[in-house]
Amino acid sequence: MGSQTVPKIPVVDFSKEDLKPGTEAWFSTSKQVCNALEEHGCFIVECKDVSSDLHNTIFDEAKQLFDLPLEVKKKNTSEYPFRGYVSDGSYYESLNIEDAASLESTENFTNLMWPDGNGRFCENAHKIASIMGRLNEMAIRMVFESYGVGKYSDTHIGSTDYLLRFSKYTKSEDSVVLPSHIDKSFSTILYQNHVNGLEVQLTDEEWTVYDPSSHSSFIYVAGDVFKAWSNNRIKPCRHRVLKNNNEERYSLGLFAFQKKEIRVPDELVDDEHPLKYKPFDHLDYLMTHLKHIYARRANVDYPIEAHCGIQNL
Question: Which residues in this chain contact Fe ion in the complex, by CB under 5 A?
Answer: 183
Report the SS3 class of residue 243: strand
Which residue spans within the chain are E strands per DSSP? 11-13, 42-46, 86-87, 92-97, 160-169, 172-182, 187-192, 198-201, 207-209, 217-222, 238-245, 249-258
Judged on CB neighbours under 10 Å (0-12, 13-18, 19+), 182 is buried
Cβ proximity to Fe ion, 190 vs 262, nearer residue = 190
- CA torsion sign, 30 to 35 to 41 to 47? negative
Residue 223: which of ligand AKG, Fe ion, none does it interact with, CB under 5 to 8 A by kind? none
Least gap, CB of 152 to Fe ion (angstroms): 25
Please report how the helices 24-39 and 119-146 are oriented relative to each other, as an axis angle in degrees rounded to 10: 90
State yes or no: residue 307 binds ligand AKG (CB under 6 A): no
State yes or no: residue 251 binds ligand AKG (CB under 6 A): yes
Residue 236: which of Fe ion, ligand AKG, none does it interact with, CB under 5 to 8 A by kind? none
Cα separation, 153 vs 138, whole angstroms: 10
State yes or no: residue 29 binds ligand AKG (CB under 6 A): no
Which span (28-36, 69-77, 190-198, 200-208) binds ligand AKG, by CB under 6 A?
190-198
Residue 252: which of Fe ion, ligand AKG, none does it interact with, CB under 5 to 8 A by kind? none
Size of the site for ligand AKG (CB under 6 A): 11
Residue 12: which of ligand AKG, Fe ion, none does it interact with, CB under 5 to 8 A by kind? none
State yes or no: residue 182 binds ligand AKG (CB under 6 A): no
Residue 198: which of ligand AKG, Fe ion, none does it interact with, CB under 5 to 8 A by kind? ligand AKG
Cα separation, 163 vs 161, whole angstroms: 7
Q: CB nearest Fe ion: which residue? A: 183
Residue 167: which of ligand AKG, Fe ion, none does it interact with, CB under 5 to 8 A by kind? ligand AKG
Cβ proximity to ligand AKG, 275 vs 290, nearer residue = 290
Residue 42: which of ligand AKG, Fe ion, none does it interact with, CB under 5 to 8 A by kind? none
Cβ proximity to ligand AKG, 124 vs 167, nearer residue = 167
User: With b meaning 16 or more CB within 10 Å and e meaning fewer, what string describes 12-43?
Assistant: bebeeeebeeeeeebeebbeebbebbbebbbb
Least gap, CB of 275 to Fe ion (angstroms): 27
Residue 46 and residue 13 in contact, taking contact as beta carbons nearer than 8 Å: yes
* Residue ranges in 111-170 that form contacts with ligand AKG under rule CB under 6 A: 165, 167
State yes or no: residue 76 binds ligand AKG (CB under 6 A): no
Q: CB nearest ligand AKG: which residue? A: 251
Q: What is the DSSP string of 90-134?
A: SSEEEEEESSTT-HHHHHHHHHHH-TT--HHHHHHHHHHHHHHHH
Of 36, 122, 190, 256, which lies in the binding site for ligand AKG, with binding defined by CB under 6 A? 190
Sheet holding 172-182: strands in order across?
172-182, 238-245, 198-201, 207-209
Which residues contribute to the site for ligand AKG (CB under 6 A)? 165, 167, 178, 183, 190, 192, 198, 239, 241, 251, 253
